[in-house]
Structure 1
Amino acid sequence: MKELTRKGFIAGGLALMAAGVARAQKAPILIYGDGLKEGWWIGGWSKQTPGVTLEDQKPVEITMAAWNAFTFQTWQKLNATDYKMLTLLVHGGPKGKQEIKLRARLGEKAYEGEVTLKGLKGKWARYDVPLKDLKLKDGQFDTFELRNMSAEALDPFYINYVILQ
C-alpha cells in the first residue's frame, strides 16, 4: 500500500500500467477511472454513488452496512493467466479505518483468496494486488468483490482508478 495523490498515480501508475503490457498477454483494462468504463457495471447491495467529487477526482462513494458487498462486474469471462495485477486507489473519507476484503469471483463462485484493503483517514492509498494473492490460479473470473466482513457498518469510503493489468 502506498499513500498517493492523483498526480503521483498518473505519473507512476501509468508507467506500471505500461510495464504490465510487457508482462501480461492482454492490454491493461481500466475498469473505473473517474467513472465506470464500458463493459463493466457495479453490483452488490451496498449503497454506492459513482462520480462523486472528492478532491480532484470522481470516485465511487461506497457505504456498507454489516456484511455488505460491492462489486465491479463484466459479462466477459477473463482469464487469470492474461493478467498479473489489480491496481486501485482507496480513500478512507474523513474518518478512515475501514477494512474491506477484496476477492474475485466467476458468477456465484468465489475464489478463496482474499486481500484486506484499509481506508486511510483523509488520504488516498494505492493498492497493487497480485492476482496470485486472490488464488485465481489458471481460472476465469468476471467480478471483483469488496466485502465488509464485520457486523458493524463502515463509514463511507471511495474507490477510483481500478486497473486490471
Structure 2
Amino acid sequence: FAETEDITRDGIIGNYVHGNEPAHHAAYLYNWTDQPWKTQPRIRMILNKMYHQGPAGLGGNDDCGQMSAWYIFSALGFYPVAPASGEYALGSPAVHGATVQVGEGKQFIITVNNQSDKNVYVQSARLNGKLLARPFLPVSDVRQGGTLEFVMGGKPTRQ
C-alpha cells in the first residue's frame, strides 16, 4: 500500500488490486490486529487515488456495483468486510456527515467532526453516545437507527 506513482488505471497499488473486487476487504484487515489505525490512511488513499469524476472515474470493472458500493461504504466510515459476521469494520470517513434511511422511518445519522484531507485518523467513535471500544459497528445497531459520531485527527490513536 505504499504511496507510489505506480498506480494504474486498472486499480493496482503495488501488490493490491483495488480494481479486483475480491480484494476490497484487504485495507480493512488491520482492524483484526493490534494496529487497527493502519486501516485509516489506506482507506483514504484508495478513496482519493482510485475514484474520480468522469467516464474513467474508477479503476477496474464495477461488477454489480461493487466498486461503487465500496466507495459509498468507505466514504461513510465503515465496510462489511465479512457480511455474515454481523458487524461492519470501521475505516476513515471522507464525509462531514450523512443520513441513511434504514427502513420503517428510521434513520442512521453519521456525523464526522474535524474531518479534513489531513485528519484521516479516528480519534474516537461513538454509537448513540457510547464509545466504541473496538473498530467494529454492529449491523443490528445500524438497522435500529441512531447516531454514529466520529472525531478525526491528524495522528493515530494507538488504542
From the two aligned structures, give the one with the greater strand fraction. 1
TM value normalised by structure 2: 0.27
TM value normalised by structure 1: 0.26
From the two aligned structures, give the one with the greater helix fraction. 2
- If asked which structure has higher relative contact order (CA below 8 Å, sep 6+), I would say 1
